[in-house]
Chain A
């Protein structure tokens, strides 16, 4: 579903991403791990159109999206989350969840002042958002400002908001960062549930390997901008190069 061919990104003399090739098959959860500074988040930004690659190709659903802008990538069905909670903090939870809905009539400046033209659609979207917020355990927080949520709730809202964009593939950057262990496990259970029930595909950066290994189909390991290993969780756990990078063994 997502294929990266020899993707690279340079900042002056630094090669942050160096010839990365990887494949994310439809309906699978793929992990992307590596020490800090290995280029994982930069790679996600290159896929999502937040930055443009210096070289290589990004193919999604058979289409070349290499130089697409962030909004074009989103509209193709590829939705990303950010490492730090990237909510609209001065907006309430429901408005945060409604924002990614595609082709909203009320988002057209010509229609927006004519409330009658979009009220029914907004009501339908709000009902859908309410259901999604229920799924991510935020059902009692609709009217709260996003800034007033706990760290874990923020991550859950980001996940719920991503789902409102009708994604085919989700790029999640540390979905459990700053979240208590029990809730972190719950977030991954939710991800697994979404994969099973909605056939969604995931590419996930995560540092909590003990949780990630329980849920992913396979993993890519990055170090100094390159993919140094690929395989199932068991294969990665036994990989000598990975052990050297992580534990210096």
Chain B
């Protein structure tokens, strides 16, 4: 313990946050960094994972455990919360199965909504309109969910969304296992994105990013390809959303405001647009900065300083974004110029 900080728990929390941020950053990097789709509504697709978890934990989980679902809000809130808690503590297989199903449903919903939300705007000639449509769409959905109680109890939010290793009595061990799971998924998402980028599909996305009109003149159906990218990127974002909400244990529409989208943009711009490793580096640095400001805020409060240090992070993120765009727009790790395996293939054939 150092200044009342549990170093092991902090390290585990950092790794978990990093994994979740990495998933979000990889998703945005694929959409904007590689394919040039300015998704200013990324928080919406992350929130879909949270809303899905809100639904599965309150409806599906009791059913899987052989119980009837209890309305999660209003007068039965306490009863429903207790039922969730008991199932997650005593029926590990049910808890794990529910979590796995949540991930799959969230990715499917994320993909579908990603396509539907962007469908009209994808046909616009000016892709920045798409960014604005997504930004507005993100806020509209958030406000609707906030006013629609049955999903995550509206404005009150929904607690008791326990992580899948909750049944392990040792909280450090269960948190560590969850961190490993998050990092594994982030690692798989990285490998997937990297292989996508180094394929002819990656070449196609970069061409579309650079000049969509010329890409269309070379036989590429730009609207369809943008739709595909939104499906893939939104599915990854929704996956991140499930981990995000399960990690905090609480689903609230207040977590999916425009500031979350801004966080992801800072990660990608800082790390290097179009570079998956850059996205990981950006996610790591922003996670460290985010946690450092959060811990400092707690320490200052403990010392009796009556000043909300948490908001310093927004100032820092804004400064980072401005400085990077002004002095190093290519990011800390610039995009590599050789994008596909065509050169290696050519060399192999000439030998």
Taking Cβ atoms with an 8 Å cutoff, the residues of A that contact B are 48-50, 69-71, 74-75, 79-80, 82, 86-92, 94-95, 98-100, 102, 104-109, 112-115, 118-119, 122-123, 125-127, 129-130, 142-143, 145, 161, 165
Contacts and interface: CB of A to CB of B under 8 A. Distances in A.
Contacts of B129: none
Chain B residues touching A, range: 35 or more
Given A48-B217, A143-B338, A99 B345 contact: no
Closest 4 CB pairs of A and B: A106-B200, A112-B201, A74-B219, A112-B199
Contacts of A71: 216-222
Given A91-B206, A95-B339, A127-B346, 19 more contacts: A49-B217, A86-B211, A92-B343, A95-B340, A99-B204, A99-B215, A104-B200, A105-B200, A112-B195, A112-B200, A113-B195, A115-B199, A122-B200, A122-B345, A123-B348, A126-B342, A126-B346, A127-B349, A143-B338
21 contacts: A70-B213, A74-B217, A79-B218, A88-B207, A91-B206, A94-B343, A95-B203, A95-B339, A95-B340, A99-B204, A99-B218, A99-B220, A109-B201, A112-B200, A113-B195, A118-B199, A122-B200, A122-B345, A127-B346, A143-B338, A145-B337
B149 to A, nearest CB: 38
Contact of B349 (A91, A102, A108, A123): A123
B308 interface: no
B203 A98 contact: yes
B301 to A, nearest CB: 47
A115 B346 contact: no
Q: Which of A79, A122, A130, A161 has the most CB of B within 10 A?
A: A122
Contact of B210 (A69, A89, A92, A118): A89
A143 B335 CA distance: 16
B282 interface: no
A95 B335 CA distance: 15
Contacts of B342: 94-95, 98, 122, 125-126, 129
A91 B345 contact: no
B140 interface: no
A110 to B, nearest CB: 10
